[in-house]
Structure 1
Amino acid sequence: MRIAVIGTGYVGLVSGTCFSEFGHDVICIDTDETKIARLNKGEVPIFEPGLQAMIEKNSRSGYLKFGTDLETAVSNADAVFIAVGTPSRRGDGQADLSYVYSAATEIAAALTGYTVVVTKSTVPVGTGREVARILREANPEADFDVVSNPEFLREGAAIEDFMRPDRVIVGTLEPRAQEVMSAIYRPLSLFQTPLVFTSLESAELTKYAGNAFLATKITFINEIADLCEKVGADVHDVARGIGLDRRIGAKFLHPGPGFGGSCFPKDTRALFETSMAAEAPLQIVETVIGINEKRKKAMATRVIDACDGSLTDKRIAVLGLTFKPNTDDMRESPSLDILPELIRRGATIRAYDPEGMSEARKLLEEVEFCDSSYATLEEADALVLITEWNEFRALDLDRVKSLMKTPVIVDLRNIYDPHDMTAKGFAYSSIGRPQ
C-alpha cells in the first residue's frame, strides 16, 4: 500500500515509520522544512527507544521517505493519515482542530482516484464528519472515505505498542475503506490482533474514553495512597490486592505525583468539554482533572515538610524531569509544578534527567542542570526523585549519602524500600507507605 502521513510529530513519525516496517511505501509530510531536512539526514527530533534504528533501516530500504510536497504525496497515496497536533485550546480546554481542518483542505485539492483519508490525530466526536464535509466542499468530484483510526501509543514503548497492539480501532462502516484498512494492518494478523470496525463517532470516542479511564485509575490509586498514609496501610499491598482481580487489572495502579504528558491531561479536558457540549456531563472525569492538578502542586509540600518546614537557602537535588521514563517529553510533567514552587519557597534547584534536559532548559530557567545523577547531589539538603528512570533505581546509596549535606530523600515514585533506606541512615519519605 502507498501511504502518506501528514505531520511528523510523535504520532505521525512513529506511525509512518511502523507502517514502513510493515512493508508499505510511506512518505511523511511536514511543513517544517528544517525538521524534514534533519530527518532526511537521519536526525530524529524526539527520543523514543528503537525509533532511530527503525527510521534508518526503512529509509535505506526505500520504504520510508520524508518531504514537504503534500500534493504529490497525497495524489499517489491509497491512504492519507492526518497526524497533526490537537493541543488544548487556550481558555476552554477544547481540542484545537485548526491543524486538522487545515490539513483536510490541502488534502482535498490533491485527491486523485479513490483515497481513504484517516484521522490518526486524537480528535473529539464529530471531527471525522467535519473533515468529510471540508473535503467534499473543497473538491466535490473527489472519491474518498473518511476513517477514524486512533492511536494507543505509550511514550517510551510506542514501537512495541504499534507493532503488537492489543487491538486496532477503525472507525468506518464503508466496505471499500474497510478493505483498504484491512490491507494496511494485515501484517498484524500474524499475532491475531483484533481489528475492530465501528462507526466514526464510536472510534473517536473510544480513544478519549480509554485515556480517561486510565487517568481515573491513576487518580484513584493516588487518593488511596493518601488514605494509606493516614491509616498505616501500604498502598503497594492494596494495589496488588485489587490488581489481581481480573476485572480491575494491575496496570496504572502505581502511586505517584499525578499524571502528565501529551495525552491524559489534554484528552480528559477535551472529553469533559465534549460531554458538556452534549449536555451529558462526565462528573467523574471533571473530578479526576481537578484532583490531578491539585496533586501535582501538593507534591512541593512533601518536600517542604521533609526539610523541616523551610526551604530558605536549601539546595535541593532533583532526579527526573520528564513526565515518565524513556521519553524526552516534558509536557505537563509534575516537575513543572513542583520545581517552581520549591524555588518560590527559597530553594536552589540542581537537576538531572537522562533525556529531558534540552526541553527542560526552555521551561525551567532558574534550575541549574547537571550532567549526572551524582553531580546533582553535591552538598544537597534533600534529594527529590520525580521520574523513575532505570538508572535511578540502583544508586550507590553510600555514595549518595557521602555527597549530600543532609541525608533526606523524598521519593515520589516509591523506587526504594523504606526499611532499607532507614537502615542506611536516610530520612526517607515516599507515597502511600508506612514511613
Structure 2
Amino acid sequence: MTDLDAQDPLAAYRERFVGTGSDLVYLDGNSLGRPLRTTGERLRTFVDDEWGQRLIRGWDESWFLLPEVVGDEIGRVCLGAAAGQTVVGDSTTVLLYKAMRAAVALRPGRTEIVVDRDNFPTDRYVADGVARECGLTLRWVDVDTSAGVTAELLAEAVGEQTALVVLSHVAYRSAWLADVPALTRLAHDAGALVLWDLSHSVGSVPTSLDAWDVDLAVGCTYKYLNGGPGAPAFVYVAGRLLHGEGALTQPVQGWMGASDPFLMGPTYTPAPGVRRMVSGTPPVVGMLALQDMLALIDEVGMDAVRAKSVGLTEHAITTAAALLPDTTLASPRQAERRGGHVTLNHPLMREATAELWRRDVIPDYRDPHGLRLGLSPLSTSYAEVARGLETVRAVLDSLG
C-alpha cells in the first residue's frame, strides 16, 4: 500500500470487488468493470428463488417494471435526472439508433446531423445509417484526437439545417471531458436537439442532465457501472419530449413498449412516458449486477467517486512523467477537462500492450499508438497504477 492508498477514504471499497486480492494489475475498467463480490450471491439467489420458484409469476411481481425502476435509480444516483426519464433495455447501439431516429423526426425539414470524427465508432456508424435512412447528410466536426469538441468547433458546425448533434461526454480515446451545458446551449440556439453518449462517464463523472437541459442521452452499464459483459444500456429522454401532441416516438415498436402490452391488439399505441423507448422483453438477468453497483455508488456518492477518479488519473500522469518520459500524454492535463482514463502515446504501444497482457497487466490499446489506462475509482488502487506503469517501463525497455 502506498501513502496515497493509506490516505484514500475509499480504499476499503476495493475489497468488495472480485479479484482485487490477486497480483493482476487491471487498468481497463472503462471497458469492463470488475464484478462485486455480492453479485455472485445475488445471481444465485435469483436462480434459486425468483427464477426457480416464482417462475413466470416474476413478471407480475417485479420484472416487468424493472427497466423503469433501475432506470430511475441510474437517473437518481448518477445522472442528475428526475424519475420517469430513464429506462434500461437493449444494447448501446440499439438505443443510440432509437434515440437518433426519434430525434430527427422531431425536427422535420432539417437536413443535417452533426457528429465529430473522433466520436466512438458506433455513434458515427449509427449516425451514418440514420442519415442515409432519412435522406439527411452528416456534417463532420474535425477534432484533435488528444482533445475533443469545443464550443468554438461546434459553433462553426451547427446552423439552421441542424436537426441533431451527437456528442460524447467523455471522449473514448483522449478522455476529453466535454462542456455539456455550453455545447447543449449552442445546439439549442440553432434549434437542434442534442444526444449525449455517456458510456465513458456514467459512474465516473457526475452529470446533471436535467439542470443542463439535455434532450437525450444513452450510456452503457458494463464499464464504471460494473453490470458485466453485455449488460444492457440505458436511455434518458427529457420529460418535455415525452408528453403532449408532439411527443417523441421511437422506431422499433415492440410489444413491451406499448401502452397495454397484454391487450395484444391489432395496432400499436406507445406507452406513456419513457416506457415507450422499450421494445422487446427486458433483460432481467442483465440488470442484476448493475443494481449492486448502483447501490455501492449511492453509498459512496458520485462526488467522492469523482474525487478518487481525479486522484487516480493525476497519479497516473505524474508517475508516467517520471517513469515514461519517452511517452506523450494524449489526454487533457487539466483535471476539469479530463474524464476517468488516461492515454499515453508511444510508437511501440501496440506491441507493448500485447506483452503487458502476457505479464498480467491489463490496459487497453487505441490508435494512434495509445496505451489507455481505464481507472475505475472504487476498484483501482494507487499502488496498482504504479505497478502497472513500472511494468510498462520494463516492457518498453525490452522492446526498445
What is the TM-score of this pair, normalised by structure 2? Answer: 0.34
Q: TM-score, normalised by structure 1?
A: 0.32
Name the larger-Rg structure. 1
